[in-house]
Structure 1
Amino acid sequence: MNIRIYHNPACGTSRNTLAMIRNAGIEPEIVDYIKNPISREELKSLIEKAGLRVRDAVRAKGDLYAELGLDNPALSDDELLDAMAANPKLINRPFVVTPDAVRLCRPSEVVLDILPAPQKGPFTKEDGEVVIDAQGKRVTSKGK
């Protein structure tokens, strides 16, 4: 099954997403985009296929976002893409590509909507939140 995750191993959301893919019995292609940056063109394509605006794909957490002045609403999509391509930590993550869809999996449970296979067992996120119960049913948290 061709599934690709643009993964940052330092990110809990990315690790949880990868674990849910594996919990479906799928071993995805893992692209560590921090060590192996993706091209600006590929990034633009992922954002478009996910149905996002470029600004929605910029990671606003961290000092770099503020240092580069990326909160400036006057910045164009091209300027934002250039910043993300030059500084991969600015890419919101993880993006997951399946044969049918591309999604920015924030929160990580978004991946469940695009996986072509069901979860094979219970799943609990790193923070202790139960996502899939012992019966294989998706658990929804109150307020989400």
Structure 2
Amino acid sequence: MKATIWHNPGCGTSRNTLAILQESGAQVTVIEYLKAPPSAEKLAQLYADAGITPQQGLRLNGTDAEERGLPQADDSAVIAAMVAEPKLIERPLVETDKGVRLCRPKEKVLEIL
């Protein structure tokens, strides 16, 4: 199975999710999204495939998202902010042939393996 993880190596949950993927035997593509953020189109597709809104994929902890009103903003405004400032993307996002999950907690990845 192939898997892609939008990963932040500084995040324990992201590292633990990556370890689960590697232990599963999946062929893993690791994208450090802070260095190579997904496009607006890709983010929209990931959230749609995960069955969540961009607002649900918004990182609130350690960001100014709430002060900027992003949790109440429309989808396109949230995605535009994430593309401009990838630290606003909650991590890790994982995509496999079985779907997409925002893997918080890390065990959510098991749903798509």
Report if TM-score (shorter chain) is over 0.5. Answer: yes
1:28-52 alpha-carbon deviations (Å, 9 max, x no partner): 0001111111111100110000000
2:92 matched to 1:94?
A: yes
Aligned to 1:64, the other structure's residue is in SS state: coil
The aligned residue for residue 62 of structure 2 is 62
Identical aligned residues as a percent: 46
Runs of 5+ unmatched residues, structure 1: 116-144
User: Rg: which structure is higher?
Assistant: 1
1:108 and 2:82 equivalent? Answer: no
Q: Specify the alignment match of 1:41 in structure 2.
A: 41
Higher strand share: 2
**C-alpha distance in 1 between matches for 2:58 and 2:4:** 20
Output the CA distance in 2 between the equivalents of 1:63 and 1:4. 25
- What does 1:12-23 correspond to in 2, within 5 Å? 12-23=12-23
Determine which structure has greater relative contact order: mean sequence separation of CA pairs < 8 Å that are 6+ residues apart, divided by chain length: 2
Number of aligned residue pairs: give it: 113
Query: Normalising by structure 2, what TM-score?
Result: 0.92
| Cα distance in 2, alignment partners of residues 66 and 100 from structure 1 | 32
Corresponding position of 1:9? 9
| Distance in structure 2 (CA, Å) of the matches to 1:50 and 1:89 | 19
Instruction: Give 5+ residue unaligned stretches, structure 2.
Output: none
Letter in 2 for 1:93: R
TM-score, scaled to structure 1:
0.73
Root-mean-square deviation (CA, aligned residues, Å) is 1.3
**Could you tell me which amino acid in structure 2 is paired with residue 50 of structure 1?**
A
| Aligned-pair CA distance for 1:67 | 4.4
